[in-house]
Amino acid sequence: MNKLYKKLLLSSILMMAASCTNDNALKYNYDKPASIANQEEINSYSDLKSYVDRTANPNFKLGAGISLSDYTSKSLMYRLVNKNFDEITLGYEMKHGAIVKSDGKLDLDNVNKLLATANEANVSVFGHTLCWHANQNAAYLNSLIAPDILSSTGPGWDLVTAADFETADASNYQYNSNVVASFTAVGQGANGIGRALKLNNAVVRTNDWEAQFYLKFSPAVQVGEKYTLSMDVRADVDASSPTQAQITAGNYKHWDFFGSISYTPIWTTYSKEITVTTEMANCGAIAFNLGKTATNFYFDNITLKKFNATGSIQTKDKTPEQKKAIIGDALEKWITGMVKNCAPYVKAWDVVNEPMDDGNPYELKTGIGKVNMAADEFYWQDYLGKDYAVDAFRLARKNGNATDKLFINDYNLEYSIDKCNGLIQYVTYIESKGQKIDGIGTQMHIGINSDKEKINTMFKLLAATGKLIKVSELDVAAGLNPTESDLKKQADMYKYVVDMYVKNIPTNQRYGITVWGLTDSKTDSSWLPGQHQGLWDLNFTRKFSYATFAEGLKGMK
């Protein structure tokens, strides 16, 4: 077979193979996976803020919750926020706990960096928050109202109990039924001063403990502690009496406590220092056994002291009036300094945050009686009373811009309609005291199964106030392991919130909506860990909720 033929044959085979390949390509069609098609449709949406009709809603602000570091570092989150939102609210860094230092001074460097960065990007900053119970420098505030130190001493003897018998107060001593007690005449006490206690044992007893005098004290002694007993004593005849250690008066524990006391017809001073042994431990009474001698025993100027190796501090609590004045000054210093500093750029403030109590929704929250209070909790209202918010709004109004919008803000208003009504009543109260509130914020940390009818009712109630209404911290949790169905319910809920806001809130009352969960939270996050609450996932990929939220904004006419 010549070479040319071989080449032609090979060429024919290759052509046939190519023909078969082309036939197969024409025979089969592949559909694009639904997940890819859905994502492409979501990605086709424009930036969120582009969907707000600015002609119909000239003052509406689409907001984003963000941390200061994410924004000032100009991270990916910074770029996402600038493309999609008009305004930012910081989660923590503009609060009392972040700004006020241990000496009360305001550290505003980070805030000023944020304001400059936002100004450069033409993004407004919503001030959050001036007066709240959490995220406070509680250690500093509590130090202001701590008890006054009246005196301080080094190691020495602290008085445990004393009795000079100049009054009828017998709370720290008693005697048993074989002893008859009375007082001497004035001038017959030790050294001819005042009066003394007179105890009569009429007969000699079989046992010395059958006639006993008890000195009582608290707390009970413990092993290793040092005590000194001192007193003036005498008797009509020479006598002696042992002392016993007793748990309580009449409840014997040990035969010796402060030794044996000698008495003569002349006043003498008895003093004894002891170190508490195991046999004496947990005793809170000294028993004097008087039964062996029939006579009158006299006691005066009894003192029991305990040695304090570290010294002692004497304090006095401040009065409620003093605390009110001090905390009022602290609030004024904080709000004045913060608002004045931020006034060139911040034009709206969350002045009072979360005032209403969940269990008693028509009453204010309180820290009184609360156990396990967090280290950053401080309830201004517990010291300033119901008018604490009146003071806060007055100070914010005085120190800001004349056109600033001042808000009161709370959570669960869509969950508890009573709480919503309670907040509205408190707004009425504050304004009855002469302070204007421009707006009400509703946080709306909700889930895919939140009650839609209550959401609708809440917006109606808020709209009826005539105030600016802001959805201040919107996120919709989908759960730890959401299905595709769950994520579509989440998307539906995001749109429903916007729809009800638009339906119920008149155009001139729409301040804005701030989205709190931009991206889903990591499983170790401090906020909604692993709850898939965002408009974007952790990889900054848009979710179903992004598209439906955009559709909701498109309907804002």
pLDDT above 60: residue 13: no
Query: Would the pLDDT of 2 be above 80?
Result: no
**Which residue, 251, 263, 262, is CA-closest to 287?**
251
For residue 21, pLDDT over 60 is answered with: no
pLDDT at 25 over 70: no
Mean pLDDT throughout 350-368? 97
Helix (H, G, I), strand (E, B) or coil at 401: coil
Tally Cβ neighbours within 10 Å of residue 482.
18
250 φ/ψ angles, rounded to the nearest 5 degrees = 90, -5
pLDDT digits (tens, 9 = 90+) for 83-105: 999 999 999 999 999 999 999 99
pTM over 0.75: no
Closest to 356 (Cα-Cα) out of 426, 444, 443, 433: 426
What is the structure's pLDDT at 38?
86
pLDDT at 30: 62
- pLDDT-derived band of residue 469, with 50, 70 and 90 as boundaries? very high
Q: Which two structure tokens, joined as six digits, stand for 267?
A: 């006043």
pLDDT band at 212 (very low <50, low <70, confident <90, very high): very high
**pLDDT confidence bin for 12, thresholds 50/70/90:** very low
Q: pLDDT tens-digit profile of 295-332?
A: 999 999 999 999 999 887 888 999 999 999 999 999 99
Give the pLDDT confidence score for residue 542 in this predicted structure: 97
pLDDT for 475 beyond 70 = yes
What confidence tier does 4 reach under pLDDT thresholds 50, 70, 90? very low
At 108, the pLDDT band (50, 70, 90 cuts) reads very high
Question: How high is the mean pLDDT of the chain?
Answer: 93
**Average pLDDT of the residues in 387-395:** 98
pLDDT of residue 29: 58
**Mean pLDDT, range 169-187, rounded to an integer:** 96
Average pLDDT over residues 129-156: 93
Say how far apart CA 229 and CA 240 lie, in whole Å: 16
> How large is the average pLDDT for residues 338-342?
98
Q: What topology is assigned to 156-313 in CATH?
A: Jelly Rolls (2.60.120)
What integer pLDDT is reported at residue 32 of this predicted model? 76
pLDDT band at 268 (very low <50, low <70, confident <90, very high): very high
Question: Quick count: other Cβ atoms within 10 Å of Cβ 337?
Answer: 17
Q: Quick one: pLDDT at residue 3? A: 39
What is the mean predicted confidence (pLDDT) over 532-555? Answer: 97
Range list of β-strands (E), 5-51: none
Q: So what's the pLDDT on residue 517?
A: 80
Task: Give the per-residue pLDDT at 371.
Answer: 86
Q: To the nearest 10°, the Cα dihedral for 199, 205, 209, 214?
A: -10
At 9, the pLDDT band (50, 70, 90 cuts) reads: very low
pLDDT value at 412 more than 50 = yes
- Share of residues in the chain with pLDDT > 90 (%): 90
C-alpha torsion sign, points 276, 279, 282, 288:
negative
How many residues make up the chain in this entry? 557
Rounded to the nearest 10 degrees, how much is the dihedral formed by the CA atoms of 166, 170, 173, 176?
120
Helix (H, G, I), strand (E, B) or coil at 300: strand
pLDDT of amino acid 31: 74
